[in-house]
Amino acid sequence: MRMGRVRPSRCLVYCVFIGIFAIGILTCYRWYTMEYLSYDQGILQWHMESAIMQEREREVKPREGMQACKHPDLPVHDPTIMKFFQTNFTISCDQKDPDWVEVKGPVISISDSAVRIHGDITCKAKELLRVTDDLNKLAEAVEFMQSYKLMQSDFAEITCLAKDGTKWKSIVAGIQKQDIKKEKIGWQYASSDGLPLNVLIWGYDSLSRNTFIRKLPLAYKYLTETLEAIVLHGYNIVGDGTPQALTPILTGRTELELPDCRKRVGEKAHHVDVYPMIWKDFRQYGYVTVLLNASKGLSPPNLQMALLGGYMTTRTPVHMMDSLLMPAELGTRTMVLAEAKKHSNPYLYRKKGGGSDNSKGDVLQTLMCIPKLGERKAADLLKTFGSLPGIVSASQTELARVIGPALAGSVKTWLNGSKS
């Protein structure tokens, strides 16, 4: 039997068919494997993200009894940081001529020691009366030779003349009880389930806890050991700036949750009286409340002129702001009461023998007390003029060549005020 030969056209058809079939098989295989790998990668990614989220939850969500936000435990007196701190000069009050008056509660009395030194003393008291947050006035002078009782204010200007011709003048602080009598003050008004405790909140702005311990060890020891104070090791910052951080501490609300008191909003700005300050709650429960700040310009509600006019009404029955306005009205830079005024300015203190002007470290520290000068500009002044007397004797033009005209004026004013 004769075998027929396959035609070339039919062979080509077979080859094409087989090629198409192979391509189809390969395509299906690739599609299947890609789909499988893609699915597998999705599963893997899901597992990885789940593990990451669980780890984050373990970090953020504290276990029972554990602190959620852990603050760094930094050694206070580590040598690497202590080399940047210098020993403070010692303040030694002049005991040869102590204050002429003593204050106990509302009573201002001429001291026996002053009488022994200077003979009979006659004094005049002018009580400081608050008009607004930025303005005070003095009451009529009342003369006394033994004692005077505060009736209208917690602060008074006292001027005295002794038999030997010596004069003495200062601002004193006491506690007058006339305003207190008008309010419901006493433990009987306290909450029945509350603790009958006096409460002191002490805060330092722009100063870390560790630096407070390093620079003010005796104060820290007194607060923690004698007063057994609770030290705040850290807190959650809820705003950028002192008012924004302090407002929640005193009100329980952020600045955005309260009426707008910023000066920049103009007539729409409220006075800070609208804030639900914590001392308002204390006053409702029979407490006498006191607000004490370092200086008028650093009072938190007035800081950087952020708020319009501060308080319209009296902030607390006792407020340090009233006495801090007094020195400016008297034409003096003194911001500390009575005989300690010589220590209100480090330069003035050193010139009186409390420290040495020969130490460049001391001079630099003194210059850094000048507002807005800073360490670099202070170092430039010291390098240019060599010593503190050299800086004092320099003209404002000479100072301006080193630190600029704007700072030169404030430095000259500060140094002139120190000398006076």
Same domain, yes or no, for 246 and 288? yes
Rounded Cα–Cα distance for residues 291 and 323 (Å): 12
Same domain, yes or no, for 287 and 370? no
Q: Is the residue at 105 inside a domain?
A: no
Rounded Cα–Cα distance for residues 298 and 304 (Å): 8
For residues 321, 327, 328 and 333, what is the CA-based torsion angle, rounded to 10 degrees? -120
Structural contact between residues 110 and 121, judged by C-beta atoms closer than 8 angstroms: yes
Q: What is the mean pLDDT of residues 39-66?
A: 67
Q: Is the residue at 143 inside a domain?
A: no
Q: Is the residue at 113 inside a domain?
A: no
Same domain, yes or no, for 355 and 308? no
pLDDT greater than 50 at residue 394: yes
Which residues have C-beta within 8 Å of that of residue 265, sequence separation ≥ 6? Answer: 308
pLDDT greater than 50 at residue 310: no
Which residues have C-beta within 8 Å of that of residue 246, sequence separation ≥ 6? Answer: 203, 300
Total number of domains constituting the chain: 2
- Residue-wise pLDDT for 325-358, tens only, equals 444 444 333 334 443 343 333 333 333 333 334 4
Higher pLDDT, 239 or 64: 239
Residue keyed to tokens 């920049």: 264
Which residues have C-beta within 8 Å of that of residue 369, sequence separation ≥ 6? Answer: 345, 346, 347
Closest CA to 156 of 210, 107, 111, 98: 107
Structural contact between residues 379 and 364, judged by C-beta atoms closer than 8 angstroms: yes
pLDDT greater than 60 at residue 401: yes
Which residues have C-beta within 8 Å of that of residue 187, sequence separation ≥ 6? Answer: 196, 286
- Using pLDDT thresholds of 50, 70 and 90, give the confidence band for residue 145: very high
Higher pLDDT, 316 or 206: 206
Rounded Cα–Cα distance for residues 51 and 55 (Å): 6
**Containing structural domain, residue 268:** 184-316
pLDDT greater than 60 at residue 226: yes
pLDDT at residue 338 in the model: 41
Q: Is the residue at 369 inside a domain?
A: yes
- This model's pTM is above 0.85: no
pLDDT at residue 315 in the model: 46
Rounded Cα–Cα distance for residues 137 and 178 (Å): 18
pLDDT greater than 80 at residue 367: no
User: Token pair for residue 156?
Assistant: 């008074």
pLDDT at residue 142 in the model: 94
Higher pLDDT, 9 or 226: 226
pLDDT at residue 354 in the model: 38
Higher pLDDT, 204 or 359: 204
Same domain, yes or no, for 392 and 300? no
pLDDT greater than 60 at residue 295: no
- Residue-wise pLDDT for 184-219, tens only, equals 777 777 777 777 888 888 888 778 889 999 988 889
Same domain, yes or no, for 273 and 201? yes
Same domain, yes or no, for 275 and 365? no
pLDDT at residue 301 in the model: 47
Higher pLDDT, 188 or 148: 148
Element at 209 (helix H, strand E):
helix 209-215
pLDDT at residue 343 in the model: 39
Q: Is the residue at 404 inside a domain?
A: yes
CATH assignment of the domain containing 408? 1.10.150.20
- Residue-wise pLDDT for 8-42, tens only, equals 667 777 777 787 888 878 777 666 665 555 555 66
Higher pLDDT, 330 or 257: 257
pLDDT at residue 418 in the model: 47
Q: What is the mean pLDDT of residues 76-104?
A: 78
Q: Is the residue at 206 inside a domain?
A: yes
Last residue of a domain, one of 301, 316, 331: 316
Q: Is the residue at 225 inside a domain?
A: yes
72 DSSP assignment:
P
pLDDT greater than 80 at residue 138: yes
Burial of 251 (0-12, 13-18, 19+ CB in 10 A): middle
pLDDT at residue 159 in the model: 94
Q: What is the mean pLDDT of residues 227-252?
A: 84
pLDDT greater than 80 at residue 92: no
Same domain, yes or no, for 193 and 307? yes
Q: Is the residue at 413 inside a domain?
A: yes
DSSP string, 176-187: --HHHHHS--SG
pLDDT greater than 60 at residue 136: yes
Same domain, yes or no, for 197 and 268? yes
Same domain, yes or no, for 257 and 356? no
pLDDT greater than 60 at residue 5: no
pLDDT at residue 311 in the model: 42
pLDDT at residue 342 in the model: 38
- Using pLDDT thresholds of 50, 70 and 90, give the confidence band for residue 361: low
Q: What is the mean pLDDT of residues 276-299?
A: 74
Q: What is the mean pLDDT of residues 91-101?
A: 71
Same domain, yes or no, for 202 and 308? yes
pLDDT at residue 205 in the model: 78
Same domain, yes or no, for 304 and 377? no
Mean pLDDT rounded to a whole number for the chain:
73
CA dihedral over 139, 140, 141, 142, signed as positive or negative: negative
Burial of 154 (0-12, 13-18, 19+ CB in 10 A): buried
Q: Tell me how far the alpha carbon of residue 248 is from its chain's centroid.
A: 14
Same domain, yes or no, for 308 and 354? no
Range name among 69-73, 175-179, 214-218, 323-327 with the lowest pLDDT average = 323-327
